[in-house]
A and B are shown apart, each in its own frame.
Chain A
């Protein structure tokens, strides 16, 4: 495990614990942090690459959040981005066309 991954896991653990601690008094939705992180990374990487037409390095930074656990994979040919967060919460976004941009799969 790289130091960076270890740091991300530690931050994520802290975030999850905070979430649990707050659960009593704050409503939460059904999605895990992994699902939210993956969907954000997939959709925003897709739009960054194929709507804004920015380069890969730029888009990696554009979608970086803390903790940055989601890893988007870009299929340049099909213009599809799939992301997972620590292997979980798979999400896929697809580029439609220049007007309609990208959409997250159901």
Chain B
């Protein structure tokens, strides 16, 4: 931006005009100016759809008369019966898979971060980036071929768990970590990289064991990133639907398959508003999750700021 200044006047020959002594301040939009495009983008592509969801979820068209009116019936219905079961099933599945993936992902990330091979680290990070988004029907078919009734590895799995079947809740808990663990590795690797070896050595010098180190030094530093990774895994697992639908055909109640069957199915018609109400409920669940996560994260990072 050009700064408007008058060239300094030399000599006192022109006394008609008063001499400018101050420079004109440049217009400074500050921090708000810098973030405005992001805010506009979020408002249009995140805010407007949420508003549309909210609006649609409180409307209902009476099939007999065709009159559309405001009603809370959709929201009530979405918290009862099969939809409540489905919401609870989704939450259980997401929490369980997020915990499993968080633990396994952390251990994997630590193993990779500790390794000396640069190529290995690079390869794992790249692969994680791809696999974290590998879901849906291709993933379902991979697992059908591997662990389905005629799967290659089914015999091995049945040695550990004789009653194992892929099209159950347990089967989904086996399948989901396939894309959640890479997600966890991706999010925690930077934090693990930030743990300096010198801190470990310092802790050992002061007489601390490995457990002391992780409990007092490594753990607290990692905790914010861990929590963040866990929440990401929860969200990713909560939103997954195509894989579950292909594998279980609705026998494991999940809120995402319920929403899909109402909004883009071939059987149920005229219940789109109920689908909107269910979608609104998932936003509520995510908001609850954030309400738990944000204070925890703030608390865990507090000592880092001091």
Say if A and B assemble together. Answer: no
Which chain B residues have a beta carbon within 8 Å of chain A's beta carbons? none
Which chain A residues have a beta carbon within 8 Å of chain B's beta carbons? none
